[in-house]
Structure 1
Amino acid sequence: MTKTKIAVIGGSGIYDIDGLENAEWTAVDTPWGAPSDQILTGVLNGVDMAFLPRHGRGHIHSPTTVPYRANIDVLKRIGVTDVISVSACGSFREQMAPGDFVIVDQFIDRTFAREKSFFGTGCVAHVSVAHPTCPRLSAACLAAAIDAGITVHDGGTYLAMEGPQFSTLAESKMYRESWGADVIGMTNMPEAKLAREAELCYASVAMITDYDSWHPDHGEVDVTQIIQTLMGNADKGRDMVKRLPDLLGATREDCPHGCDKALEYAILTGPDARDPALMAKLDAVAGRVL
């Protein structure tokens, strides 16, 4: 059995949870640079919790400049076992309306200006992301959302775009009609891939704010409307998060889906050929196998 420590990566408001005991903001260094912000840690209903503002307090990072590697490293470094991503998104489906939540289970990665791996020259590793989210953790998020009275959809494909601009109409129609994506956002990649490399269970909760630009009755994305919906979604997100400790418990067994053993056979570079400098940077992420 392992002590549960839940991390929530989200926007402002999601880390403001009523009842968080011993709450403290702490700065933690990583070999990959500074994370987006300090980490808010505490205890909620007997379970250790950590909250990381993805864009930093005050929203100082664009989706491209979010330090994804540092964010995942710092969570692994402080002992997190389960990561829940909470993020705003647009919808490609009429039935997935603004204000609804989607428990994402697949991704299409269209980002291109971000570092996507902890590994590289000096230590090569290939992990599987065929199923990029943890079914056990996703099920807990689904149950928490239902219990909070949120309209939630179980399963959906998230198209991760580079941004920071929203989609053109042609792109929006292609993603929806040809590619079969359900929601669109800018921040879950490479976050999900890095969480898998760090052997962390990862679940993605997409909070719908708009219909992107494909919808004939809604037209182009309006940031003012997005912010209004986002504030309502933040309240719902807090209600969902505060139910997770009771569902996940203070201790947990090994992940039945192997998320916490993702590196078991992933590293290809022989021990004698590994770059010592890179090995030092991987101390938290890959320490179990290295």
Structure 2
Amino acid sequence: MATVSVPMRGPRPDVAVIGGSGFYAFFDGGTESVDIATPYGATSASIALGEVGGRRTAFLPRHGANHEHAPHTVPYRANMWALRSLGVRQVLAPCAAGSLTPDLARGTVVVPDQLVDRTSGRTQTYFDGGAVHVQFADPYCPSLRAAALQPGTVDGGAMVVVEGPRFSTRAESRWFAAQGWSLVNMTGHPEAVLARELEMCYATMALITDLDAGVAVGEGVRASEVFAEFERNIGPFKDLVRSSVAAAPKATECAHCRVHEGVTLPIELP
């Protein structure tokens, strides 16, 4: 079980935002911070609690407050477990992504509907014992995706998640594009499947920061350019996320992500 080392002053949050590269803060003020110990270690950073659209909301920077964690070292299991233990049942996960098609230009926000896992070595389950198999054909919650489809966003597309921390070769990028996949990212897995195992609604909003190596002609992707593009768009991007939080229905109204009915789990969920 998870334990909160600092008691919360306000009500428990039922929705959370996990910020990606360049997205290290979310609330303008009136927040409190909690630290949670989990069976899977510490979270990426302290969890901030505030109000968005009248809803008690948690915020956690995926890479840490100062980008201490590379994509392959993010404590994904601890992060998701801690959020659920706080009462969170919906997670919006904004992230940076590369485009695999010229149709998706820099600055575009995409709400993907599919995920392709090309990571390796990341622990992607809480169920190390017992035979528990979660439904994952549609990895993102349809209700939360609908809330994230704010004006100006692009509906749908497959996001391929690579191990990192290196960027793709030109041949890999062209291969991904040839499969019909739209986006490439380094953090969307195992986060999405861990949310499903915890029966939390989960959706991502991907800000296009670059054209991947097989799409753009030139030297390929540079980290400095990715961060600069994200910084140029962070204000409007945060506004889109805030609007999505405010538009999200209560998680109790969603049956899509309740995948354990009739199943005896080998562990007790927080």
TM-score, reference length from structure 1: 0.84
Q: Is the 8 A contact 1:17 1:238 kept in 2?
A: no
- Does residue 141 of structure 2 align to residue 134 of structure 1? yes
Q: Is the 8 A contact 2:143 2:248 kept in 1?
A: no
- Highest CA radius of gyration, 1 or 2? 1
Match of 1:173 in 2: 174
The offset of 1:266, in angstroms, is 4.7
Structure 1 residue runs without a partner (length 5+): 285-290
The offset of 1:223, in angstroms, is 2.1
Residues 243-254 of structure 1: pairs in structure 2 closer than 5 A: 243-248=243-248, 251=250, 253-254=252-253
Change (3 A) 1:136 1:218: farther
* Secondary structure of 2:88 counterpart: coil
Match of 1:75 in 2: 83
Q: Is the 8 A contact 1:14 1:234 kept in 2?
A: no
* Secondary structure of 1:64 counterpart: helix
Residues 49-128 of structure 1: pairs in structure 2 closer than 5 A: 49-121=57-129, 123-128=130-135
**Greater shift after overlay, 29-38 or 182-191?**
29-38
The offset of 1:161, in angstroms, is 0.4
The offset of 1:263, in angstroms, is 1.3
Q: 2:224 is aligned with what amino acid?
A: T
Change (3 A) 1:266 1:101: farther
Structure 2 residue runs without a partner (length 5+): 1-11
Match of 1:288 in 2: none
**1:262, 1:165 → 2: CA distance?**
34
Q: Is the 8 A contact 1:46 1:245 kept in 2?
A: no
Q: 2:253 is aligned with what amino acid?
A: D
**2:164, 2:13 → 1: CA distance?**
34
* Secondary structure of 2:235 counterpart: helix
The offset of 1:4, in angstroms, is 6.9
**1:216, 1:283 → 2: CA distance?**
45
Residues 1-290 of structure 1: pairs in structure 2 closer than 5 A: 5-11=14-20, 12-13=22-23, 15-18=25-28, 21=30, 23-121=31-129, 123-143=130-150, 146=151, 151-177=152-178, 179-248=179-248, 251=250, 253-255=252-254, 257-259=255-257, 261-267=258-264, 279=267, 282-284=268-270
The offset of 1:5, in angstroms, is 1.8
**1:44, 1:135 → 2: CA distance?**
21
Change (3 A) 1:252 1:162: closer
Identity %: 38
Q: Is the 8 A contact 1:4 1:82 kept in 2?
A: no
The number of aligned residues is: 258
**1:82, 1:31 → 2: CA distance?**
21
Q: 2:17 is aligned with what amino acid?
A: V
TM-score, reference length from structure 2: 0.89
Moved beyond 6 Å, runs of 4+: none
